[in-house]
Structure 1
Amino acid sequence: MNCSTMFKRLPVLAVLLWLISAVLVQAEEEREYLPAGEAEILLVHNESPSDDEAEDIEYISMLANALNRSLDFGTPEQCADIVSKYSYIICYGLDEVPGKFMEELGDYDGSLMVLGSAFMEKYLTETGQAAFCAGRETQEKGKLEYCFSEENRFEELVEIRGMRKFLEEGYTNGEITAGNKSYPFCSQVGNVRFIPVTDFSGSLARAALMQEIVQWMWPYLDSPPDYAQYFVLDKVYPFMSAEKLKERVDILIESGIPFVISVMPVLQNTEFPSMKQFCQVLSYAQANGGAVILNAPVIHKADTDIDELYEKLTDMTVAYTDYGVYPLGIEVPLSWTNDETYLKVLQRYRTVFVCDDGSSSGFDLDSHKNSLYYNYHQLVLPLIGLDKTGTSYLKCYSSALYLDSCEETGVLEEKIKNCRESSVPFKNLWDMNHSVWANDFWMNYEDRILSINGKEAVIEFQPEAFDEDFDYGRNIIQRITVSLQNQNKILMVLVAAIVVIFVSFIIYARKRNRRNFFFDDKRE
């Protein structure tokens, strides 16, 4: 090979090397966005789930967060090579699955749960357990009946399209009635825990699914541990009347129910008497067993600057602690639990309350994991309301009952009555350990000792007098603004007078012209 031939082939070799490197980089990027095989639970879903199915996948992901369990999710094709790495696998409403995935699932020796009849029938057939198949149900809807305790029985209409009958072994719970037949909501069929429902948009279906997953994952013969619920007086604004807030606090103290006050952010005018008076009521609530958490600031910008958010949260926290009010955690909307920036901010809080504010949660199927779990929070999620009482019936996770502070006292008293009759106990936030980090600030509450930046702080209420002659410090710009406002009022009066005079001239001129016109006609 001469030199000229070699030089001619160099560009070709360079192009080939570039193509190979590009393919390798793309393959590596694709692997980064696949289930990692490192979680405890694997949720397998269809290739192109509908919006309703995506909501159910998000719910199961959040359910794993509530149970402090790590979860990966992906399609059968994405998960075929990593089936054996998980302790628990949930197959949700699967339609078509590749042979490799079915083969790997057939060899799987962990705990398997199947949601949906179609894939259940396919799995039993492929794994030599077809004898468990016992017919089909033509009804597309059925009545779900489920109990969370002997005295609490609930009913709900559920979708059971394509439902099959299987021969259960041992465990059954709940009941679905379709036509003249009854089927268990959850049952053990062969080596599979089976639930025929794939639509979990209803509150009872969701609550029952959570209860069954908890029971399925519990490795012992007894029942899983019980969790409590928290009463949260929500959206308490600093400009709220101190008398109105104290009235509600007194009702809660008298009721004996542990309560949490979620206070809104404050950044300006923290030295005003109204702010001092507001914090006095919060301090009074703390001294009588109430706890305080900070409600996350509302973010209007699409791109959030994390350093700016750190600074705001620091200022908000210090504004309260300077008055002897100690926010033990933070309340955030669902959207914060799926955003990378907000998740990083939440790492500064050990205790996190999550609320559903009705806005988009930002859940992304391509994330392939419940990212919130890896922050290792003490999570408190919204309760699943099953009736008008507004209290929780599930003891399998920590839940929050949110009541808007603007509600009338009658609504509060009715809610307290329901809480007293609830089978799920209420817990005091002061019975847990908490920590909050901010810029040059660290608050820690452990073994009932509160410290700020390493120095012990005392939780007490000391009434203080308010300065009635407080100097609000109006500067020259504010005085000019007030002066301009006064001048504007005078100007508006003058303009109104001129308009009236102008309209009067127009009316007078019109009448005169009309009189002259008719007079001229008569003269002719």
Structure 2
Amino acid sequence: MQNRRIFLLGLLLMIVLAGLPYSKADAANTPKPDSVLLLYDSAAISTPKEGNVEALERLLASFGTQVTVHSYDQYQAGMLMNYTKVISVRNADDLFQIPDSYKQDLGNYQGDFLHIGNQVPMNVQQALGLDEQNVEQDIASLKIGQLSQKAIMVNGISYVTKYTGKAYGSLTSDKLKSAAPYAVSNGKYGYIPYMVKGNLTELAAAYLLRDWLSVKSNHQLYLLLDEIYPFSNLALLDELADRLYEAGIPFIANVQPVLSNLDYPAAQRYLETLKHVQSRNGSIVVNAPVVASTISQDITVLKSEMSSFLDALAGYGIVPLGIGSEMYWTYDDHYAVNGLSYFDSSILFPNEHVMYRARTDKSQAFGSSVYTIPADVLKSYVAQGQILEPLPMDAALVYAFPDNNKKLDTLMSSLIQDWTLFSDYKYEDHTVRTQVNEMGSGKGQLHINGQTILLNSVLKDISADHAYVQEGKKSLTNLFSVQNKVFIILIASTLLIFSAFLFIGYRLYKRKYTHTGRQL
């Protein structure tokens, strides 16, 4: 009898455990990339390598990695031992002196190490079995996966002639008339001889980073419509959403927030349009507000305004799924706390107009981050007629919102003809939290505060009548009205009397002149 009870209790426990949500248990067991220490010797200002550190930061962010960035001048003894993964970027020439404390720590370092650029440390050379041939100036062609680019101008490059381990891509030298691996790795060590911002060498680095960071999950390719503002052609946006829906193409709309006057008809029409976009298989992502100045009397205004807009979206049944921002926002405490903290998903754009408020060396990592690349740039790396395949990380092809019908027709024709398969952003898990609302998505469903949102495509007609300037109190209106009438009567009477005197004077003067003429 007692054995039977034990058996029944065990069976009941198994049933309870089996009923636990699989997705949460699975997420808990999914390894996440470690925090990475990124060291560089020079920002390479005014050289072809300028910006490659920033490009590397954005690549690492797309894998969900938290990054701490320091120059070698900031290095302190023992810093390497706090990280299991370290990346070294060497942009400077041989004259740059590496700190002795770093050299000593590197000799004892047991973690994963990736070197980018020249002057490869001896332990990395030995681990990779490297032999190289240096070329000062050259024209190279790069091919990796289905991507390729010809006639890349390179300076101070080392071509790998011998290695041990795995090779990534092929870099063909015009001067040497031979091909070499673009990058190589072996166990915990990796090496990328050349990486600059703005050409295929930037994107190619992601293929090695995926393996070096031990990222195993499948990756998605998204379509993103950018530069959508409250003053955009909303009727055209409705039409574009309808045509994408009819073509079976899911998309992400990166929309600019309205930070004030949310009760104005213009703002309400904007929200109505976004609700329609959402109903047409469009996922809404809120773009970071434009930073016009870093000077403000109230540094908390960003937090309250972002919260108000997110709650306004929720009130309209619109579910924002992430934040779109330039990369530098993740390296700023003010923007991270007051602007990014509502979101667990991000879409990161390259820096264009950097305006730090409280800069920090450690980035804010997100559960989901999407790497962005202009659609025309990525397609220039793919042979005509080929269907784009997913990249090593989640990525979005960026299209500017067309501002006229001709551009809309051109965009739709291009999307339909190339047969690229885009993923639906809301099928991934995304969460946005304010003090009032919790919104998000998963498995294609949108929800607000636990309630599934039914997609509604019916547009509400918003009246244009609105008192944009509130009228003040009118307690003295009647008094001023009577006073104005009295003044009008007095002025009119004065003008009549003055006109009469002028007329009488004119008659007297004329009579006198006539009488004088007769005497003569």
Shift of 1:285: 2.5
1:291-306 alignment runs, 5 A limit: 291-304=283-296, 305-306=298-299
Contact between 2:171 and 2:181, CA under 8 Å: does it hold in 1?
A: yes
The CA distance in 1 between the partners of 2:127 and 2:421, in whole Å, is 45
- Aligned-partner SS, 1:443: strand
From the superposition, tell whether residues 460 and 50 of structure 1 become closer, same or farther in structure 2 (CA, over 3 Å): same
> Percent identity, aligned pairs only?
20
Of residues 349, 370, 383, the one that matches 2:373 is: 383
The CA distance in 2 between the partners of 1:129 and 1:350, in whole Å, is 41
Amino acid aligned to 2:407? V
From the superposition, tell whether residues 414 and 478 of structure 1 become closer, same or farther in structure 2 (CA, over 3 Å): farther
Which deviations, in whole Å up to 9, do the C-alpha atoms of 1:127-158 show, x marking residues without a partner? 89499565643442230311223xx4322414
Residue 69 in 1 paired to residue 91 in 2?
no
Match of 1:176 in 2: 172
Amino acid aligned to 1:411? K
- Aligned-partner SS, 2:223: strand
The CA distance in 1 between the partners of 2:229 and 2:165, in whole Å, is 54
From the superposition, tell whether residues 277 and 110 of structure 1 become closer, same or farther in structure 2 (CA, over 3 Å): closer
Aligned length, in residue pairs = 425
1:462-473 alignment runs, 5 A limit: 462-467=458-463, 470=465, 472=467
User: Which stretch shows the higher mean deviation, 290-299 or 157-166?
Assistant: 157-166
Residue 234 in 1 paired to residue 226 in 2?
yes
Contact between 2:321 and 2:432, CA under 8 Å: does it hold in 1?
A: yes
- Aligned-partner SS, 2:300: helix
1:147-158 alignment runs, 5 A limit: 147-149=144-146, 152-158=147-153
Contact between 1:392 and 1:399, CA under 8 Å: does it hold in 2?
A: no
Match of 1:258 in 2: 250
Match of 2:208 in 1: 212
Match of 1:105 in 2: 106
Amino acid aligned to 2:235? E
Match of 2:317 in 1: 324
Match of 1:285 in 2: 277
The CA distance in 1 between the partners of 2:419 and 2:173, in whole Å, is 27
From the superposition, tell whether residues 248 and 334 of structure 1 become closer, same or farther in structure 2 (CA, over 3 Å): same
Residue 116 in 1 paired to residue 117 in 2?
yes
The CA distance in 2 between the partners of 1:185 and 1:66, in whole Å, is 21
The CA distance in 2 between the partners of 1:66 and 1:131, in whole Å, is 27
Which deviations, in whole Å up to 9, do the C-alpha atoms of 1:65-120 show, x marking residues without a partner? 11112333335572652434433332221743345533443443433322233x22
From the superposition, tell whether residues 322 and 190 of structure 1 become closer, same or farther in structure 2 (CA, over 3 Å): closer
Match of 2:89 in 1: 92
From the superposition, tell whether residues 280 and 395 of structure 1 become closer, same or farther in structure 2 (CA, over 3 Å): same
Contact between 1:102 and 1:123, CA under 8 Å: does it hold in 2?
A: no
Shift of 1:377: 3.9
Amino acid aligned to 2:58? M
Contact between 1:139 and 1:179, CA under 8 Å: does it hold in 2?
A: no
Which deviations, in whole Å up to 9, do the C-alpha atoms of 1:156-178 show, x marking residues without a partner? 41424163655212422322314
Shift of 1:266: 2.6
Contact between 2:259 and 2:306, CA under 8 Å: does it hold in 1?
A: no
Supply the RMSD in Å over aligned alpha carbons: 3.8
From the superposition, tell whether residues 90 and 296 of structure 1 become closer, same or farther in structure 2 (CA, over 3 Å): closer
Contact between 2:128 and 2:165, CA under 8 Å: does it hold in 1?
A: no
Contact between 2:260 and 2:305, CA under 8 Å: does it hold in 1?
A: no
- Aligned-partner SS, 1:383: strand
Contact between 2:232 and 2:403, CA under 8 Å: does it hold in 1?
A: no
Shift of 1:355: 2.8
Residue 336 in 1 paired to residue 335 in 2?
no
- Aligned-partner SS, 2:205: helix
Match of 1:3 in 2: none
The CA distance in 2 between the partners of 1:342 and 1:248, in whole Å, is 32
Which deviations, in whole Å up to 9, do the C-alpha atoms of 1:353-382 show, x marking residues without a partner? 223462126499x9443x122xx3422232
The CA distance in 1 between the partners of 2:290 and 2:160, in whole Å, is 50
Of residues 181, 186, 189, the one that matches 2:183 is: 186
Which deviations, in whole Å up to 9, do the C-alpha atoms of 1:421-452 show, x marking residues without a partner? 76974221221232223343333445655444
Of residues 291, 307, 310, the one that matches 1:314 is: 307
Amino acid aligned to 1:441? N
Match of 2:428 in 1: 432
Which deviations, in whole Å up to 9, do the C-alpha atoms of 1:396-421 show, x marking residues without a partner? 22222332324434434444455457
Q: Tell me which protein shows more helix as a share of its residues.
A: 1
- Aligned-partner SS, 1:301: coil
The CA distance in 2 between the partners of 1:380 and 1:128, in whole Å, is 33
Of residues 348, 355, 359, the one that matches 2:349 is: 355
Shift of 1:189: 7.6
The CA distance in 2 between the partners of 1:443 and 1:131, in whole Å, is 48
Shift of 1:473: 6.8
Shift of 1:248: 1.4
From the superposition, tell whether residues 242 and 97 of structure 1 become closer, same or farther in structure 2 (CA, over 3 Å): closer
- Aligned-partner SS, 1:342: helix
Shift of 1:309: 1.6
Of residues 400, 416, 438, the one that matches 1:404 is: 400
From the superposition, tell whether residues 238 and 214 of structure 1 become closer, same or farther in structure 2 (CA, over 3 Å): same
The CA distance in 1 between the partners of 2:381 and 2:167, in whole Å, is 28
- Aligned-partner SS, 1:321: helix
The CA distance in 1 between the partners of 2:210 and 2:127, in whole Å, is 28
The CA distance in 2 between the partners of 1:290 and 1:145, in whole Å, is 35
From the superposition, tell whether residues 436 and 417 of structure 1 become closer, same or farther in structure 2 (CA, over 3 Å): same
Match of 1:372 in 2: 364
Match of 2:52 in 1: 56
- Aligned-partner SS, 1:163: strand
Q: Unpaired runs of 5+ in structure 2?
A: 1-32, 475-520
Which deviations, in whole Å up to 9, do the C-alpha atoms of 1:240-298 show, x marking residues without a partner? 34422222112211221111223322355544555444433332322231122223322
Contact between 2:130 and 2:164, CA under 8 Å: does it hold in 1?
A: no
The CA distance in 2 between the partners of 1:287 and 1:57, in whole Å, is 40
The CA distance in 1 between the partners of 2:126 and 2:373, in whole Å, is 39
Amino acid aligned to 1:401? L
From the superposition, tell whether residues 420 and 84 of structure 1 become closer, same or farther in structure 2 (CA, over 3 Å): farther
Amino acid aligned to 1:381? Y
The CA distance in 1 between the partners of 2:269 and 2:288, in whole Å, is 22
Amino acid aligned to 1:249? A
The CA distance in 2 between the partners of 1:194 and 1:175, in whole Å, is 14
The CA distance in 2 between the partners of 1:360 and 1:177, in whole Å, is 36
Shift of 1:226: 3.2
- Aligned-partner SS, 1:212: helix
Contact between 1:382 and 1:401, CA under 8 Å: does it hold in 2?
A: yes
TM-score w.r.t. structure 2 length? 0.69
Match of 1:514 in 2: none
Contact between 1:351 and 1:435, CA under 8 Å: does it hold in 2?
A: yes
